[in-house]
Structure 1
């Protein structure tokens, strides 16, 4: 057991303003779950109360604060450290993301994450699964993004099963391009085994996307990104994914990856199937400056939070912001209400992945909660609770 593990046996209360209604609530925590929610008799002005909301669930985190799930070797302690540091971002559940690499490197990465889950209860409680993004993606410049072309390959079920064995069954999401002839059979086998297949980094045709959905694909990875810089008006693989009602959509709302018009359109089309992801790389949580990375080489993180190639400022080098930042951008831009944006980063992804955290701020749900304050357009985290225990 980790040194932060607690018994979760004691009852205690948390007070705050409900993030949806703004009304004061008192939440009784017992056994790690929300046991009771009442309207409290306040001993301080209502305006002094922080906001209370469900913890955030991120389906795609590549690294944080200089640590990377894709720079080998790494150990179980690094996985534990990232997990703990994510509490400062309000993230109580997440999917560490392993991207395109040599087969043995992917195997080593997922195996290390699995060992960390077995070794530390606090890690197992926060890592809801592993997301493998590649290597079964498009080899073409543009949709391939920053993934190393030399490791891109067609879908291979036997290879994936070896990774899943090394991960002790913890791979829950895999990003695949349907453009490969092997894709429909692979997608069907993944879906039958309980793994969520997400379409991403693709140049697939309309028919290939329809075939992928029929085979069991359910999600789009960072829709609108990982694409050619110029596309035909129609048809194209972004419109095709928007049009597929069976596909939920993940969006990066950091203010750099997608323009407001696209986000507004995606929210209208996808409705409650639209979700936020950070897709954060290891430079998230780091100060502005110039960095040398294993993917992208020399990159710059600007004071505004944009991460780009040092020699080509117009080309992004990944996302360097977390879900709180994305929520702020949606609300400040008038694209979404605070409750709606928060749900996109918490109960919607939890519900999509069938996690108990889908219960949100309700009796019987896990007491994965955050307290925060609003300072203009900013959300300032005050406390994160995992199963009712304060983690900051």
Structure 2
């Protein structure tokens, strides 16, 4: 489809519930006008909302961005499958590994983006999660301790060059002595520094924010099993107004009370991420992974270690599931939950799609229907092109 050709979409605005007519021209929302319809005609329309923006996806449908090497074709396949889920923009996430493996992974993603303009629009950046994180058990999560190391600017620049300057988010722990200068350099180069997998003191977190850190990676996860009552790094990250908080709202990683508190404290800076692993999108069953070994995906959607069902083995659900969880539990309205997974992460990263369903915004849209709290994606548009239509 030629996205320069004029198109029109009639649907219900996700926030107001009122019918609108959207004119799409040259990949943007050229105009949005209200439409007067009777109730029967309104009920026949789908809901239209901004495309979902996921800042942390490790893999999907059996394809793992951290099982090196992976192919360019596998990345393209993930992009197509994510369109079915309403995800129009995402950051493939590379976790702690050897220097060579990280370089190979980011270079592969860059080749895909160079060869496919639409893929380059969908991959809005690479999220490098590690290896400059805490080596402590609990804080390091499933990251391999053998590859954890202090921040190294020359090494990071090597990876950034291999990525075609596509690394946009770096998760690190500011507990390392050289962290402040490193964070300042990253920030000056246009990289979002996110605090995660940390054992940092409150003073180290404060200094990280002063140096430019602006986000918390999956706050409440990748932490020690027990913390001092206060102060601790959880309280400090919540108290830092400049930090956005990324949340995994699959119903397994964080209890509702924690989600509710973070959402109240952070307001528009509370963001939904999936942190999906490769098993996300696969049927329930037992699988063997290169990180967690043997794992079990339950029919309820929970992924845990086969040897200990109390220990999670990653997230097996995308943002759509998180939106459904927040709305079904009464923690957020549909509009707010959807924005937590679309315009809010885009605003945090200053992506153009932060404008949402507004005139002159990029035509990244999802048309969907609701069955109780379930969201059924009908169509997905990327840059004005219909990239998915439900049979």
Question: TM-score by structure 2 length?
Answer: 0.98
Structure 1: where are the runs of 5+ without partners?
1-5
* Residue 48 (structure 2) pairs with residue 52 (structure 1): yes
Deviation at 1:205, TM superposition (A): 0.4
Q: Deviations over 1:178-210 (max 9, x none)?
A: 111111111111011110000000010011101
Equivalence for 2:385 = 389
Equivalence for 1:31 = 26
Deviation at 1:334, TM superposition (A): 0.8
* Residue 52 (structure 2) pairs with residue 82 (structure 1): no
* Residue 106 (structure 2) pairs with residue 110 (structure 1): yes
* Residue 278 (structure 2) pairs with residue 282 (structure 1): yes
Equivalence for 2:10 = 15
Deviation at 1:39, TM superposition (A): 2.1
Report the number of matched residues. Answer: 387
Deviation at 1:170, TM superposition (A): 0.4
Structure 1 counterpart SS, 2:300: coil
Equivalence for 2:359 = 363
Equivalence for 2:316 = 320
Deviation at 1:260, TM superposition (A): 0.5
Counterparts of residues 1-392 of structure 1 (less than 5 Å)? 6-40=1-35, 42=37, 45-392=41-388
Question: TM-score by structure 1 length?
Answer: 0.97
Kept in 1: contact 2:54–2:341 (CA 8 A):
yes
Deviation at 1:89, TM superposition (A): 0.8
Structure 2: where are the runs of 5+ without partners?
none
Deviation at 1:258, TM superposition (A): 0.3
Deviation at 1:7, TM superposition (A): 2.7
Deviation at 1:9, TM superposition (A): 1.6
Quote the Cα distance in structure 2 between the aligned partners of 1:197 and 1:330.
Answer: 27
Deviation at 1:338, TM superposition (A): 0.6
Quote the Cα distance in structure 2 between the aligned partners of 1:363 and 1:39.
Answer: 12
Quote the Cα distance in structure 1 between the aligned partners of 2:383 and 2:124.
Answer: 14
Deviation at 1:15, TM superposition (A): 1.2
Quote the Cα distance in structure 2 between the aligned partners of 1:51 and 1:41.
Answer: 16
Deviation at 1:391, TM superposition (A): 1.2
Quote the Cα distance in structure 1 between the aligned partners of 2:373 and 2:348.
Answer: 28
Quote the Cα distance in structure 2 between the aligned partners of 1:301 and 1:108.
Answer: 29
Bigger drift between 323-332 and 31-40 goes to 31-40
Q: Deviations over 1:51-70 (max 9, x none)?
A: 11000000000000000110
Q: Deviations over 1:193-231 (max 9, x none)?
A: 110000000010011101111111000000000001111
Structure 2 counterpart SS, 1:254: coil
Kept in 1: contact 2:19–2:36 (CA 8 A):
no
Quote the Cα distance in structure 2 between the aligned partners of 1:268 and 1:40.
Answer: 35
Deviation at 1:301, TM superposition (A): 0.4
Structure 2 counterpart SS, 1:299: strand
Deviation at 1:78, TM superposition (A): 1.1
Change (3 A) 1:14 1:42: same
Equivalence for 1:3 = none
Quote the Cα distance in structure 2 between the aligned partners of 1:360 and 1:56.
Answer: 10
Structure 2 counterpart SS, 1:124: helix
Q: Deviations over 1:304-350 (max 9, x none)?
A: 00000001000000000000000000111111111000011000111
Quote the Cα distance in structure 2 between the aligned partners of 1:9 and 1:177.
Answer: 44
Q: Deviations over 1:22-41 (max 9, x none)?
A: 00111111111101111235
Deviation at 1:299, TM superposition (A): 0.2
Q: Deviations over 1:124-144 (max 9, x none)?
A: 010000000000000010010
Kept in 1: contact 2:141–2:223 (CA 8 A):
yes
Deviation at 1:42, TM superposition (A): 4.7
